[in-house]
Structure 1
């Protein structure tokens, strides 16, 4: 195998960049994943929007009554919480199988492994795009007035993509070597759903229980949801996510540099 195409002769940076720059490949693979999932369906990916809309529409009035909160205040909070949490959960669980699910490609020829992490992330971004549109009618109904603070979602979303890709490399490598970790991650995500303010309001917590807001997913949700509701996220959420990003990038870089060549042998 020539040096140009061999993973063994590339350093970690070159291998990562080779997979990252091939947007034509991983976007196409991601789109085909969606198309194949809804093959022979009349509505296709529109089912993603409809199913999420039914969930939000059914849970909004119910949980608003249970928590004794005004629906116009609670409904946008719940809608964004469910939409973003669905994205978080799907990104994390799919990252565990990024390489295992692409074993047919990796076993047949040289592909930079970062390409398949981008493929998994792109697939989830396509699904997210079908679901976030549901917030538009909710925002109009609730009378949310957006201001310049909405632009804060751009750096927040950039941090989300950086963390998602770093976590994808990290979990992809670990779960390919140790398959039981996938089940552990799935169980942890189910638990974190109830420790993250998806269905409840953070201000309803008593003072001694506010430690649950140190959860990185709760901080990321705050950064993404608050600007879309016309507010500004807490500074501790920015600081917490920046620290978490540094940890994720460091761990992903170390594992990727050391173990990327072993992925094919672990499949």
Structure 2
């Protein structure tokens, strides 16, 4: 059983372990009216990743919470597009870092307006000075521990849409809020899951699509030098809210804008009720 908390109606306890220790997960879901984009992927990821942390929640409980949120917020936003956020914490209890043997998880539900979306002409991005470290036991899991991304985001300027972070080896890993995918002349490349802080549902959708289309894909590290390689045909940023956007400029480097992914993401084609 999970305790569902609406951010607009209730307060979270000061003893909640998500607040105290970042002990939990979150999902940010693009909504179109009463429907949710890539909903099954979001909820299945949250259930699976919660199991890794030892937090018990079912996909059915999460779906019930989404239905309640839709009934509450579905007609609130005039554009019809909005963002639903689910924050799952272990709840309260336990002494210090050690959690209680039994506890009731909290699921905090909130709704916000859709942020401005970038156009098809591409965006400007840059390289963050703040390194990204990934615990291999937590790789890819969208935990509440996002302080590295917060620190990197402090470097953002009005001219840049996103900052891409590197691992300890100086290779590109992911953006502060996006995954990265590069188009080369003979294949698509993206870092392997074990290097990622967040394995995004949009990235999973895109990679499954490319494989189904018979495209060559490779999960491998991306050195900065690859951006200047003659075989580089485009760099993409993606998440489940903004979709997929090409990078036209990376720091001082002009990149080719390739429309090879332009038809992959139509949110209305991916809506689940």
Answer yes or no: same fold by TM over 0.5: no
Higher relative contact order (CA 8 A, sep 6+): 1
Decide which structure has the larger Cα Rg and report it.
1
TM-score by length of 2: 0.29
TM-score by length of 1: 0.29
The structure richer in helix per residue is 1
